[in-house]
Copies of this chain bind each other. A is one copy, B any other.
Amino acid sequence: MGRHHLRQLAACPQAQVVAICDLDQERLRAAQQEFGVERTFTNYRKMLQLPGLQAVSVVTPNYLHMSQTIAALQAGMHVMCEKPLAMTYAQAQRMVAEAKRRRRILMMHYNGRFSGEAFFLKNYIQRGGLGRIYFAKAGYTRRRGIPGLGTWFTQKAKAGGGALIDIGVHALDLALWMMGYPKAVEVLGGVYAEFGPALATRSKPFDVDDLGCGLVRFANGSTLFLEASWASNIGRDSFYVQLLGTKGGAEREEGLRIFTQEDGATTDVTPTRYTDSVPSAQHHFIDCILRGKKPIAPGEEGAQTVRILEAIYKSASSGRAARLR
């Protein structure tokens, strides 16, 4: 788990990976060899006592995020946590509060943000290129792509949910980041499991959603439609964000395109080569620690995405809209 993640960390020249913790001994040895890590652990609490350790990256099943992150923060670590921040908003709030109390960085590992096109679009929006964004759509949908049954992904108790919380979270975060993380006030949702249950067995349960959708209204009057599926009868898999603003619109699906108007014509703007270099999430995390900067993807925003996802689940089970105070 997290081999790519480790590779990114190991590639950061300003810091060093000194310890890895994993319950799987074989995986541990393989990683130790590949990355030349000094120490390995199977008990993360022991690892946290290692002298000189300053920061931790948590890449574990969702149900462990809270306890491990809080333990790390309490041990004085900065923490980068895999998405979703937690299974519930209540958990997420405790994590954010702990980081605040300890004055430690709690950063989300939202790697969808750390790309040339995402940085370009964020800058473009911040410079006012789209005007005010009032409507957005975002989705991460697959035709056939349920994670392996028998893993924690398909169990509500360990994952907190299915397609929505696993991949929908990427689309939701990217859209919200571009919109400036407005405050959500009302959510109506639908959640379905039409493919997973037929594949499940007693030892390989499936009690989460394989398709979810929701409409979110924000305090500033804007709305966002979200959809996510692990399995659905659609033509092709898609990860998209569409933003409609008063001055321009943007569509990120296969590449990024911006639709605007100037000099008497509607115009399409297509970035072709991203010439500025974009740091990996890992680089950025280390950079924030070393320079005392605020991370681009703070834990607070991770908590907000969990809050909205929770509201969709709640709305779907009640059949009514959920009000967020």
Chain A residues within 8 Å of B, Cβ to Cβ = 116-117, 119-120, 123-124, 127, 130, 134-135, 137, 143-144, 185-190, 192, 194, 211, 213-215, 217, 221-223, 225, 227, 232-235, 242, 244-249, 251, 257, 259-276, 319-321, 323
Q: How many angstroms from the CA of A276 to the CA of B265 in the assembled complex?
A: 7
Q: B residues within 8 A CB of A117? A: 265
Q: CB within 8 A of A266: which of B242, B260, B262, B272?
A: B272
Q: B residues within 8 A CB of A261? A: 233, 275
Complex contact A265–B259 (CB within 8 A) = no
27 contacts between A and B (CB under 8 A): A120-B263, A120-B265, A124-B262, A127-B263, A135-B213, A135-B227, A143-B266, A144-B275, A185-B319, A187-B188, A188-B215, A188-B321, A190-B221, A213-B215, A215-B215, A221-B319, A225-B225, A233-B245, A235-B268, A263-B276, A265-B271, A266-B275, A267-B270, A268-B269, A268-B271, A269-B270, A270-B270
Q: B residues within 8 A CB of A186? A: 188, 319-321
> A267 CB to closest chain B CB, in angstroms?
5
Given contacts A221-B190, A269-B269, contact A233 B130 (CB under 8 A): yes
Q: B residues within 8 A CB of A144? A: 266, 273, 275
Q: B residues within 8 A CB of A188? A: 186-188, 215, 217, 321
Complex contact A264–B234 (CB within 8 A) = no
Q: Is the interface of A mostly helix, strand, loop or mixed?
A: strand
Q: B residues within 8 A CB of A213? A: 135, 215, 223, 225
Q: How many angstroms from the CA of A119 to the CA of B265 in the assembled complex?
A: 10
Q: How many copies does the complex hold?
A: 6
Q: B residues within 8 A CB of A187? A: 188
Given contacts A235-B259, A272-B268, contact A246 B194 (CB under 8 A): yes
| Beyond known contacts A144-B275, A266-B275: 5 more, CB 8 A cutoff | A116-B265, A134-B211, A186-B321, A225-B227, A235-B249
**Chain B residue with minimal CB distance to A265?**
B271
**Chain B residue with minimal CB distance to A323?**
B320
Q: CB within 8 A of A268: which of B245, B263, B270?
A: B270
**Chain B residue with minimal CB distance to A250?**
B233
> A199 CB to closest chain B CB, in angstroms?
11
Given contacts A234-B251, A276-B264, contact A321 B320 (CB under 8 A): yes
Q: How many angstroms from the CA of A117 to the CA of B137 in the assembled complex?
A: 27
Complex contact A233–B248 (CB within 8 A) = yes
Q: B residues within 8 A CB of A119? A: 264
> A252 CB to closest chain B CB, in angstroms?
12
**Chain B residue with minimal CB distance to A117?**
B265
Q: CB within 8 A of A223: which of B190, B233, B264?
A: B190
